Amino acid sequence: MPRGRNDTPGVIAPPPLIYAVPLAIGLYFNRSNPLPVMPRRFAVPIGSALVLAAVILSIAAAIQFRRARTAMMPYKPTTAIIESGPFGMTRNPLYVGMTMAYVGIALIADTVWPLLLLPLALLMMHRGVIEREEHYLEQKFGDPYLRYKSRVRRWL
């Protein structure tokens, strides 16, 4: 069971940064080479709805972290397995929310470039964050986490 200085999952970078970099690169590419996703009259409302849903999901997840009195940031020790609220539907509601916000922002900007880079962000999240967090939680909590993991999907 991890303790002390090593009582963290050792993620490669802050998850918001993993999403922000490819999103920013995609938005930058769009400046010189616009490549729309769909007509703006559809893209903006759909993108706005996704961003709003992402904010609501993230707030709901943050409330659960606070109720459980455990760290939301992966650089601090986890003290509890959260199974209520959005954690009953996905083991990673914050990452689902970040993905929704990413897609929503790309739609609001009406550009396909960030969407082409999204698989890179998701691969980095999977390998550099989620796999490490899951290993950490398995080591720290054992069977209770494994049971939760078997009941609740990683994404949706």
73-90 pLDDT tens trace: 998 999 999 999 999 999
Handedness of CA 80, 148, 156, 26 (dihedral sign): positive
Q: In terms of DSSP H, where are the helices of the chain?
A: 15-32, 40-68, 93-108, 113-125, 131-141, 143-151
Choose among 140, 8, 119, 23: nearest CA to 74.
Answer: 8
Mean pLDDT of 38-45: 96
Query: What contacts 31, CB < 8 A, 6 or more positions away?
Result: none
Give per-residue pLDDT as tens, 96-128.
Answer: 999 999 999 999 999 999 999 999 999 999 999
- How much is the pLDDT for 47? 98
Mean pLDDT of 32-59: 97
- Enter the pTM of the model: 0.93
Tell me: pLDDT of 65 over 80: yes
> Which residue is it, tokens 């996703």?
37
Which amino acid, 155?
Answer: W
* Average pLDDT of every residue of the chain: 95
What is the greatest pairwise CA distance in the chain? 53
> Whole-angstrom Cα distance, residue 42 to residue 63?
32
Tell me: pLDDT of 1 over 90: no
Go through the chain and tell me how many residues it has. 156
- Percent of the chain whose pLDDT exceeds 90: 94
Tell me: pLDDT of 145 over 80: yes
- How much is the pLDDT for 4? 52
Tell me: pLDDT of 5 over 60: no
- How much is the pLDDT for 6? 80
